[in-house]
Amino acid sequence: MPPRERDTARTRRTVLDAAARTVAKQGAGVSLDVIAREAGVSKSGLLHHFRSRDQLLLALAQDQVDTFAAEVRAAVDPADHAAGRLVRAYVKAIFDSLGDDTAISEHLLLSAALSTVPGVAEILQRDARQWEAAFTSDGLHPDRVLIITKAADGASLATLYEGGSNPAALERTRELLLSMTRGEGSFTG
Amino acid sequence: MPPRERDTARTRRTVLDAAARTVAKQGAGVSLDVIAREAGVSKSGLLHHFRSRDQLLLALAQDQVDTFAAEVRAAVDPADHAAGRLVRAYVKAIFDSLGDDTAISEHLLLSAALSTVPGVAEILQRDARQWEAAFTSDGLHPDRVLIITKAADGASLATLYEGGSNPAALERTRELLLSMTRGEGSFTG
């Protein structure tokens, strides 16, 4: 990447990270001034990358789904060619992020704040359809995929519902879900 | 209940509901003045019921877990004496609340805000232990209970992760989880 493009990408990243922190703390109504200050850039510098708050929030939502998809891709075991390899990577990517209760709480606050922004629902719906399509060719029964992925999502709520995640309980849930991706305990008959 | 006690209970309820709405919107740092205004009571009236913001936030956290426990108890089918009746009620209580994306988003924002308040973790941990004990005598394998309850919890995140909950998908997940409480598709072998 030429130096100027690299700088552009770096500033964009800095602004998105600052926006994630401030929106998680203050909600989607946070001003561009506050985000610019948190990012350590001028407001005109920020506006050079994102034309408006709406555009920044939509880019942030897209960045969140892209980052998670990249984490799942990175968690795919290249030596694993059995059915369920993508679901296994999904479970691993989620549980890898569950050690830090503060980070999860911030992530959920950010997601809840973004969910109220017009246009974000469409980004999430498109992403959900892409996951559904990807899981269709992963070789597991759709009911099994549904239960495993919902249970993995639900595990992140222990921070909010159980007063923090218990490492032993997380490990037990993770192993149980991974065993379900290997077709063990076939619950669909 | 004598009239004075009834008034006291009613004001307490009004303040807790107002606190829930304002904390969901503005976080756990919201002032007692803002909560009193939202509740339509004087600040001294509020302080008569809750001595401090900390005490109000702890009461709110306790109220949240008590309300959910009451919803689950109300969802228990009195004619159902089979193993898994409590887990079935848990699934029904969760899915009954999932129609309204705004309410779920508010509930998650409130839970995330409360999770940062000192003392709330202990309330949630005690509640989690009570659920674990109750499920122990419900007659299902603990792994099955774990997967079903986590997947039910995770279903509420469709609002945040999938751009809103899809009624057909919710119904499919609900039916699948209820069938799992009846021991169908034994996934633990």
- DSSP letter, residue B1: -
Q: What is the pLDDT of residue A6?
A: 82
Do residues A160 and A105 make contact, with C-beta atoms less than 8 angstroms apart?
yes
Q: What is the pLDDT of residue B4?
A: 82
What number is the average pLDDT over the span B89-115?
Answer: 91
3-state secondary structure of A84: coil
pLDDT(B187) > 80:
no
Task: Copy the structure tokens of residue A93.
Answer: 């990517």
Q: Is the ipTM of this complex over 0.85?
A: yes
Provide the CATH number for the domain formed by A1-51 in this structure.
1.10.10
Q: What is the pLDDT of residue B43?
A: 95
Residue B112 contacts A where some CB pair is shorter than 8 Å: yes
B174 to each of A72, A176, A183, B104, how far by Cα in Å? 26, 21, 21, 17
Q: What is the pLDDT of residue B189?
A: 35
| Share of residues in chain B with pLDDT > 70 (%) | 97
Nearest 5°: the CA angle A182, A91, A123 is 125
pLDDT(B127) > 90:
yes
**What phi, psi does A100 have (nearest 5°)?**
-105, 100
pLDDT(A29) > 50:
yes
Instruction: Report pLDDT digits (tens) over B22-57.
Output: 999 888 999 999 999 999 999 999 999 999 999 999
Closest CA to A95 of B114, B113, B145, B154: B154
| Share of residues in chain A with pLDDT > 90 (%) | 75
B98 to each of B52, B91, B157, B185, how far by Cα in Å? 33, 11, 10, 25
Nearest 5°: the CA angle A146, A150, A152 is 120
Q: What is the pLDDT of residue A189?
A: 35
Closest CA to A22 of A90, A135, A109: A109
Q: What is the pLDDT of residue B135?
A: 97
pLDDT(B14) > 90:
yes
Question: What's the N-to-C CA distance of chain A in angstroms?
Answer: 52
Give the separation between CA A5 and CA A12, rounded to whole angstroms.
Answer: 10
Which residues of chain B make contact with A155, given a CB cutoff of 8 A? 150, 154
Instruction: Report pLDDT digits (tens) over B161-186.
Output: 888 888 898 999 999 999 999 987 54
Nearest 5°: the CA angle A55, A57, A60 is 110
Residue B100 contacts A where some CB pair is shorter than 8 Å: no
Task: Copy the structure tokens of residue B135.
Answer: 């499920």
Mutate: best of A110, A129, A187, partner B, most B CBs <10 A: A187
Domain residue ranges in chain B: 1-51, 58-189
CA dihedral A92, A71, A157, B60 (to 10 degrees): 160
Q: What is the pLDDT of residue A185?
A: 58
**What band does A100 get if pLDDT is binned at 50, 70 and 90?**
confident
Instruction: Report pLDDT digits (tens) over A38-57.
Output: 999 999 999 999 999 999 99
**Alpha carbon A95 to chain centroid distance?**
12
**pLDDT mean across residues, chain A:** 92
Q: What is the pLDDT of residue B185?
A: 58
| Domain spanning A58-189, CATH class | mainly alpha
How many residues are given for chain A?
A: 189
Closest CA to B86 of B94, B151, A172, B121: B94
Q: What is the pLDDT of residue A165?
A: 80
**pLDDT mean across residues, chain B:** 92
- DSSP letter, residue A157: T
Give the separation between CA B41 and CA A39, rounded to whole angstroms.
Answer: 40
- Give the relative orientation of helices A142-155 and B142-155 as an angle to the nearest 10 degrees: 80
Q: What is the pLDDT of residue A188?
A: 45
Residues whose CB falls within 8 Å of the CB of residue A138, separated by 6 or more in sequence, listed in order: A83, A84, A85, A86, A87, A145
Do residues B163 and A122 make contact, with C-beta atoms less than 8 angstroms apart?
yes
Give the separation between CA A177 and CA A173, rounded to whole angstroms.
Answer: 6
Closest CA to B105 of B188, B25, B43, B19: B25
Closest CA to B152 of A153, A134, A79, A124: A153
| Share of residues in chain A with pLDDT > 70 (%) | 97
User: Counting beta carbons within 10 angstroms of the beta carbon of residue A169, is it exposed (0 to 12), middle (13 to 18) or buried (19 or more)?
Assistant: middle
What number is the average pLDDT over the span B60-73?
Answer: 97
Mutate: best of B115, B166, B177, partner A, most A CBs <10 A: B115
The answer for A 8-37 residues in CB contact with B (under 8 A) is 25-27
Give the separation between CA A88 and CA B80, rounded to whole angstroms.
Answer: 36
The answer for B 140-179 residues in CB contact with A (under 8 A) is 143, 146-147, 149-157, 159-164, 172-173, 176-177
**What band does A3 get if pLDDT is binned at 50, 70 and 90?**
confident
